[in-house]
Amino acid sequence: MSKITVLAEGQITLSDAIVVVLVEPADMPSTVVIHWPAAPTVCDPKRFSSTGDAAVRVFASAVVRLAQVRRDRRL
């Protein structure tokens, strides 16, 4: 059975969110899975920079959380 840890999640537009999870199967190497919206994300060109910023914040949070998970498991 796989252990799944949500590393980060967040809205990138008013209607779209992304979720980053760590999947640790018992019999395979661990992987990071990024769940994107089912349909393409659409945004006004004027809001593109804020959409990109939001996505980067989610990924940055996931990197920090993964580092914490690794640190905690070494103890």
Query: Would residue 35 be called left, alpha or beta, if left means φ above 0 and alpha means ψ between -120 and 50 degrees?
Result: beta
Question: How far is the C-alpha of 22 from the C-alpha of 13, rounded, in Å?
Answer: 23
Q: Structural domain of residue 51, as residue ranges?
A: 3-74
Beta-bridge partners for 57: none
Number of domains observed in the structure of the chain: 1
pLDDT single digits (tens) 31-72: 999 999 999 999 999 999 999 999 999 999 999 999 999 999
DSSP three-state, residue 1: coil
Which structure tokens are listed for 16? 């779209």
The pLDDT score that the predictor gives to residue 8 is: 98
